[in-house]
Structure 1
Amino acid sequence: MYEEKHKHLKELEKVLATRIESVSTDLSHEHDADSAEQVTERENEDVLRNLKEETRLELKQVRSALKRIESGEYGTCATCGEAISPARLDALPYATLCIRCAR
């Protein structure tokens, strides 16, 4: 029933895992010897760390959605038990709440 969602989530999982690897690689680079350049590099590292954490959290949600597909719980609101609308799942494929409960 949710074959397309499963496929989309698997693709998203790969994209997010690749992003985490890329950011991790960027964070592992040595700093420039120039102190002015180091300030910029450290600011960039803060942005990269935030991006990595946000991506890690999204990846966790994607993997959770994949487990819900496998268990047959996907598309059901975790709070009220009603169906999550297809439009909501299109917009946020790892949604766990219907729009009413999300508000």
Structure 2
Amino acid sequence: MDAALDRLEAERQETLDRLANLVHDHDEVVAASRDTNADDEHDPEGATIAFERSQVASLMRQARRHLDEIAAAVQRVQAGTYGTCEVCGEPIGEGRLEARPVARTCIRCASVPR
């Protein structure tokens, strides 16, 4: 399970880096909105500052949820249940775990609509 922990740690670090960049982007958008008195809500040139701020905030929430998923996967490694499908109890394929280290289900169970 050392490989699983290494994979999860790499995923965690990548997500932390992405989150740090998103926080920086969010701070820049907020600072830009403070530095201008433009009416961006009626600017025909493109996306509004409010839209950009909302979009970055949404990506930040996704990154934080992914960190929670990674922590849960680490707990499954420690409990000895990592790599076992939570629906059917069969092993999750190594390829799926490489592509999605936080996977809780095998491909077959993941493809069944719930």
Does the alignment reach a TM-score above 0.5? yes
Superposition pairs for residues 5-44 of structure 1, below 5 Å?
Answer: 5-28=4-27, 29-30=30-31, 31=33, 32-37=35-40, 40-44=48-52
Q: What amino acid maps onto 2:12 in structure 1?
A: E
Q: What amino acid maps onto 2:50 in structure 1?
A: R
**Quick one: percent identity of the two aligned structures?**
28
Please name the residue that 1:81 is paired with: 89
Alignment partner for residue 62 of structure 1, among 67, 70, 83? 70
Gaps of 5+ in 1: none
| Pairwise CA distance, 1:86 | 0.7
| Pairwise CA distance, 1:82 | 0.8
Two-structure CA RMSD over aligned residues (Å): 2.0
Superposition pairs for residues 39-54 of structure 1, below 5 Å?
Answer: 40-54=48-62
Gaps of 5+ in 2: 42-46
| Pairwise CA distance, 1:25 | 4.2
| Pairwise CA distance, 1:43 | 1.7
| Pairwise CA distance, 1:44 | 1.2
Q: What amino acid maps onto 1:20 in structure 2?
A: L
* Structure of larger gyration radius: 2
Instruction: Compute the TM-score of the two structures, normalised by the length of structure 2.
Output: 0.76
Please name the residue that 2:44 is paired with: none
**Secondary structure of 1:77 counterpart:** coil
